Structure 1
């Protein structure tokens, strides 16, 4: 999976602005430079996992929102997660998964 760093930066900027936090405050809270935050927000520098965690903690947002633009609690997130899991499966595994899923989908809950 590849990431669009300009979209990640855009989401970080949006979350930061929604919290009313300046780049300077975010940078200070993470012990990094303003220039680093600016580069991340413009998609010029990829954010590493440690700093992503710090950003999310300060901005009180999820990594799922920053990386994918979705929240874990949404139905779309779960649907996308299932699709992602299926992408690497062999045709045989897909058939097996379908055999497991079909009875669940056919179940009407009356019994």
Structure 2
């Protein structure tokens, strides 16, 4: 992973968390003690933000700093789509009895009746 990819990943995650909290860049900046333009630069991956500033951002968002490094929602969606495609491929290779068994297992897992 390149430096730019790391900065973009963290910036995207900060943007997601900020929006989930219903905060503007200005509001997050005020809570963290930053200018809103600095928040925007971080979210766009333009600034290599210091660890102590990341801690302030996490505090302003009301999350643990580790949440700033969690996969973004987009990455989760891409992983989920890949898993669904793999499951579909596997099911397409099976006979009807095994497909019915798999359906019952999935229903049990999700308590879906």
TM class by smaller structure = 0.5 to 0.7
Aligned: 1:15 with 2:17: yes
Q: What is the TM-score when the length of structure 2 is the normalising length?
A: 0.55
Structure 1 CA distance, aligned partners of 2:58 and 2:38? 16
- Hey, which bits of structure 1, 4+ residues long, moved more than 3 A? none
Distance 1:63 1:34, change over 3 A: same
Q: Secondary structure at the match of 1:14?
A: helix
- The aligned counterpart of 2:89 is none
Please report how far the alpha carbon of residue 15 of structure 1 lies from its aligned counterpart in structure 2 after TM superposition.
0.2
Aligned pairs for 1:1-111 (under 5 A) are 4-69=6-71
Q: Aligned partners of 2:47 and 2:25: how far apart in 1?
A: 15
Counterpart-to-counterpart distance in 2, 1:31 and 1:57 = 11
- Any unmatched runs of 5+ in structure 1? 71-111
* Structure whose alpha-carbon radius of gyration is higher: 2
Aligned residues: 70
Q: 1:64: how far off?
A: 1.8
